[in-house]
Structure 1
Amino acid sequence: MPTTTIDDVAMALSGTLLTLGVVVLGIVELVDGAPYGASPVTNEAGEIVATPGVDPAIRTALVLAGLVVLLLWGGYRVVVGPEPSGATTDATAAPGTQ
């Protein structure tokens, strides 16, 4: 099934959001150094001695936004349905039949 503009935009947007939230900000966390956890590190007195480089809420929001885009796109594809099997486009038409 050929993709439409909506399909291309949804795939690009969701892929970008998921990649940014997981891979890019994960690399930023690694470059920033320890701690790698999502919560601040405290000492025995309860004072915060180290915090993550990127707020975990930002990473979570980016990943969830990417998943929401995929969910909405999937709902759109269910409503629209597949193209009829006998349909042809200019790109798939036999030569000389255009």
Structure 2
Amino acid sequence: MTQLDITEKVGLAFGGLTVLVGIVGLGVVEMLAGKPFGAAPVTNDAGEVVATPTVDPAIRTGLVILGLVVLFGVGLYRMATTGTERTDVRREVTAD
């Protein structure tokens, strides 16, 4: 197991923070703004829009997807830069 380098640390921090802001942070903003909590606009019987979400759902979704893409990229970077270990080495084991 190797230590994380600075690129991986920054990527993990940015990806995790982006996902948390998209889900938790903007969710709290929606709750503090009051009802309705849904992602779609609320209409009355006449079809008029009477309430809309505070934060556009496309922004929240975009932040979460961006965070997941960054985390996936960190995983690919880790796979590409991690050296391989030798598995064909024989080790002596004493029997009981």
Q: CA deviation at 1:57?
A: 0.4
Q: Over alpha carbons, which structure has the higher Rg?
A: 2
Residue of structure 2 equivalent to 1:91: none
Q: Does 1:13 align with 2:32?
A: no
Tell me the distance in 2 between the aligned counterparts of 1:52 and 1:7: 35
TM-score scaled by structure 2?
Answer: 0.83
4+ aligned runs moved over 4 Å, structure 1: 82-85
Q: Does 1:81 align with 2:60?
A: no
Q: CA RMSD in A?
A: 1.5
Tell me the distance in 2 between the aligned counterparts of 1:37 and 1:51: 8
Q: CA deviation at 1:70?
A: 0.6
Q: CA deviation at 1:63?
A: 0.2
Tell me the distance in 2 between the aligned counterparts of 1:64 and 1:52: 19
Unaligned runs of 5+ in 1: 86-98
Tell me the distance in 2 between the aligned counterparts of 1:16 and 1:47: 37
SS of equivalent residue, structure 1 residue 49:
strand
Tell me the distance in 1 between the aligned counterparts of 2:50 and 2:31: 18
Aligned residues: 85
Tell me the distance in 1 between the aligned counterparts of 2:54 and 2:76: 36
Q: CA deviation at 1:82?
A: 4.2
Unaligned runs of 5+ in 2: 87-96
